Structure 1
């Protein structure tokens, strides 16, 4: 099924890219005005998708959930995943549905995920996907389409943190058909504020010029998507930014980049040089633009199953997921798949000030949650074997740790956080050592704030849960304590 869904997304991207190319070659004006500054920056988040992608004939089941689960179990599982998303810096989650979802018994359990997000203070965006018949239309499903939306609006229309995205990537509609459908949809739900209704762009959400210009749709939010998977290539970040702005047509003040992404499973450094590699240039161009315009953005996609593997090609669920699901049952957590990619997303959301463009990962302090002090190399020493401690955060180079794409945490540009002698015993003091790519220098940054040694499986730990300056730092059995929680800043 994954192969079929991948083909669906590849087809729509190629069709959309071809249409846009034809429009450009025909001299059609794609950009009516410079992009205005947005008022949508309240959205920084992820899409939480079905493992098969969201083009489905049956119910949509977000990764990590199961149709066999009741409301309470779904709520517990969803809360764990959503807290993992929040650990990335997100405040918004976008869900896919279809008429089969809301007409099924699963709907009663799935709403627990929406309710859990709401309880955590997150924005929730709900978007139906077209059926996987290659049409990009709701076709003869108009009655079912409105029954679905009646169900959703009846339950969540009164909640101010819920947003309703009319239909995802309706690439089978021409401009007149799409705007007429949008006007009709709005007329069905006049009680919902326009600022919570999201209208898709033309040609698979890739161009908001037409919907932005239609006065019948005034006051709504506008959804735009942009990918490299259709084969679009630009050699520089500046050219990607210009392409993106041209499809906003001056309506950035209402626009949300509700899907974008590039592969996170190739080990590429997205904080490296911004020009010369298409995916890297793309990610710089888009994150720079949403930050400069104050636009909201939701990456595709938030999480993949730990055993879900695909090739590093076009952006499907597994390849582009920023986290991987760990655990079983209701004991779930997320691990970051590419820290440099997350750095770029966070830059776009305005959550860090790392402009990137270097050859290494982004630097920042690792602040202990329990001590409020930073992981520190004593005396600014650069000698191999120097053992680490916590100390008052002071912004020194001996407290600046760069997360590299190979899993290393690097200081001074050449020394790595290291477990001496490949030890795996709890209580082993950590040190700095010349970076060598060894498994004892590789770390997983957990969404719960833990820093876990790949080789040992143990957590970076402030010994004795002490909070005083010069307290040693070691690896220890993970226990959930605040002395094992760290914040990258």
Structure 2
């Protein structure tokens, strides 16, 4: 995969991508050697109607009526597509109590099993429900703990499976969320800390508070970052915005959600000023340059989600042998660039 990075963008990246420092740096420093955040080169596989659900989650291309064997075959094809088309080694998957507490759990496990069998790391994250329950808080604590008991019992001995206690805990204050994350670690002491992703505060939009909490030492930190959060923001401003959310915690940080429009024909290799959507192009160039420079792991949102304009891959075919087609080659180029692959070439 050939990457085309503008000489102006490369020069600006070299000038601005210094490692940030801050009060959380001390808490993060002693875990730096043990953790390898930059190892995670991944994508999210999401449900067509998003992962917030008041029932079992059926990922794009799968069905709640599929048995284990059918799900395994379909998932194997999708995982192969992620590797073949993008060079990914990680997939992030949603879970909820409806998925793990009913009959579908045996089928859903086929997705995890198919991915790990093919050498993928799997990040399992809890998503809350929809409607009135979508408030950034755990819907039911008893169901939450039962869910995680089921999941950790099944996969704590599989070194390729990682656990993210909650996606986007925006309903909690920083103190409440760090307390809850610490409680999760204390509840499941047999899970190695280096297989836990602790979400940043808010919409996973800052890892500073979780990085500074010594109770969470040894864990990875999950960060989300999106271009739609701000408009008319240039490359340098996006670099500064991202770095302000990481502080001195790059060695532990994995951006397990970030994304931009892929199906609208944008060229992410051109100058942002030449694009019809300069903000999205500047954002994606800034994020991928920063991830590469700071050796931050990154998991694109979404690698596959039917009906999502951000999706990096689209489904073709049917039955147990679906195929994936990349929706935007330049977007895939930028993703590979974030993962330390490819090379820069000058354009006139």
TM-score grouping bracket, smaller chain normalisation:
0.7 to 0.9
- Aligned-pair CA distance for 1:236: 2.1
Task: Provide the secondary structure at the position in 2 that maps to 1:297.
Answer: strand
- Aligned-pair CA distance for 1:355: 6.2
Distance 1:44 1:155 in 2: 24
Distance 2:100 2:261 in 1: 31
- Aligned-pair CA distance for 1:210: 0.6
> Structure 1 stretches (4+) deviating beyond 6 angstroms?
33-38
Unaligned runs of 5+ in 1: 1-29, 309-317, 360-489
Deviations 1:95-144 (A, max 9, x none): 001111101111101101100001100101000112222311014x0010
Match of 1:186?
185
- Aligned-pair CA distance for 1:229: 2.5
Match of 1:76?
73
Task: Provide the secondary structure at the position in 2 that maps to 1:319.
Answer: coil
Confirm whether residue 329 of structure 1 aligns to residue 319 of structure 2. Answer: yes
- Aligned-pair CA distance for 1:81: 0.5
Q: How does 1:320-399 map to 2 (within 5 A)?
A: 320-354=310-344, 358=347
Unaligned runs of 5+ in 2: 1-20
Match of 2:17?
none
Distance 1:354 1:338 in 2: 18
Distance 1:209 1:129 in 2: 22
Match of 1:135?
135
Which fold has the larger relative contact order, with Cα–Cα distance below 8 Å and residues 6 or more apart in sequence?
Answer: 2
Task: Provide the secondary structure at the position in 2 that maps to 1:61.
Answer: coil
Deviations 1:205-229 (A, max 9, x none): 0011111000111111100001122
- Aligned-pair CA distance for 1:350: 1.1
Distance 2:150 2:96 in 1: 11
Deviations 1:383-437 (A, max 9, x none): xxxxxxxxxxxxxxxxxxxxxxxxxxxxxxxxxxxxxxxxxxxxxxxxxxxxxxx
Match of 1:233?
231
Distance 1:195 1:118 in 2: 17
- Aligned-pair CA distance for 1:275: 4.9
Match of 1:319?
309
Match of 2:12?
none
Q: TM-score of the superposition, structure 2-length normalised?
A: 0.87
Match of 1:262?
260
Match of 1:86?
83
Match of 1:39?
36
Match of 1:251?
249
Match of 2:99?
101
Confirm whether residue 296 of structure 1 aligns to residue 286 of structure 2. Answer: no
Match of 1:112?
110
Q: 1:60 to 1:355 in 2, by over 3 A?
A: farther
- Aligned-pair CA distance for 1:235: 3.0
Deviations 1:441-479 (A, max 9, x none): xxxxxxxxxxxxxxxxxxxxxxxxxxxxxxxxxxxxxxx
Aligned length: 316
Match of 2:166?
167
Residue 45 of structure 1 contacts residue 91 of structure 1 at CA under 8 Å; is this kept in 2?
yes
Match of 2:61?
64
Bigger radius of gyration: 1
- Aligned-pair CA distance for 1:31: 5.3
Distance 2:63 2:101 in 1: 17
Task: Provide the secondary structure at the position in 1 that maps to 2:43.
Answer: strand
Distance 1:103 1:51 in 2: 21
- Aligned-pair CA distance for 1:51: 0.7
Distance 1:33 1:234 in 2: 30
Residue 259 of structure 2 contacts residue 302 of structure 2 at CA under 8 Å; is this kept in 1?
yes
- Aligned-pair CA distance for 1:33: 6.9
Greater helix content: 2
Q: 1:234 to 1:219 in 2, by over 3 A?
A: farther
Distance 1:41 1:176 in 2: 28
Residue 235 of structure 1 contacts residue 275 of structure 1 at CA under 8 Å; is this kept in 2?
no
Residue 24 of structure 2 contacts residue 212 of structure 2 at CA under 8 Å; is this kept in 1?
no
Residue 234 of structure 1 contacts residue 281 of structure 1 at CA under 8 Å; is this kept in 2?
no
Confirm whether residue 126 of structure 1 aligns to residue 116 of structure 2. Answer: no
Structure 1 residue corresponding to 2:48, chosen from 48, 51, 54: 51
